[in-house]
Structure 1
């Protein structure tokens, strides 16, 4: 395959961070997945990598493989700040927290009312999660 053909093929993929609902539906992506993709973008600001699709309920390996034939991350997302003290379970999942981390955060908030700073936050999540999200976390407000 020539580089020109590869370029044309790549251009046909929709940018998951910019594509409209109609664009995705036009590619025969089911309405339920389109709605979840739009919801993810609304909550987090967008996808850093296509694999983030797997954070969406119902998107496993097989569905991811199908969706990756139509979508790409063509533009960097403008990630939204995460208010850790008021975020619900779905929001935490979309930001990439594991089930174990979500449970630890919820348990901590039930006992302490709020997480006040990066020092407390760092104790609740693994190092990788902390490093990825530390600059996006807002500690204002309470649950």
Structure 2
């Protein structure tokens, strides 16, 4: 159902304490560009942009999270008919993967995560505005990455 670009990840080297120090819960993140259709439709066509620490494996964990059905609410820069959006995915201390929010107290938490119940009333996602990936994702001649050439 979801198209997601996931590549290889650097293998874990060094000791476990060093890796844990780099994988700080709710701080270490991976950024993705995804197609946002609506508040009630899952994110689709997610493409990795960058990650803080490849050894934390957020790229692969986020792929599972997106394929399960990740949602995010609309903000002012997202038109109601759908648009590309860049978002960060985090892991909490319990190993859940998701989207971070901050309470008025300053406490951070995952507002939607890999253990959130799947919404059986979800709307179908709209088709992305092709033919181009968002700026910064692709490279090469302008025609090289067209999806639906006219």
Q: TM-score, normalised by structure 1?
A: 0.24
Query: Greater strand share, 1 or 2?
Result: 2
Larger Rg: 1
Query: Greater helix share, 1 or 2?
Result: 1
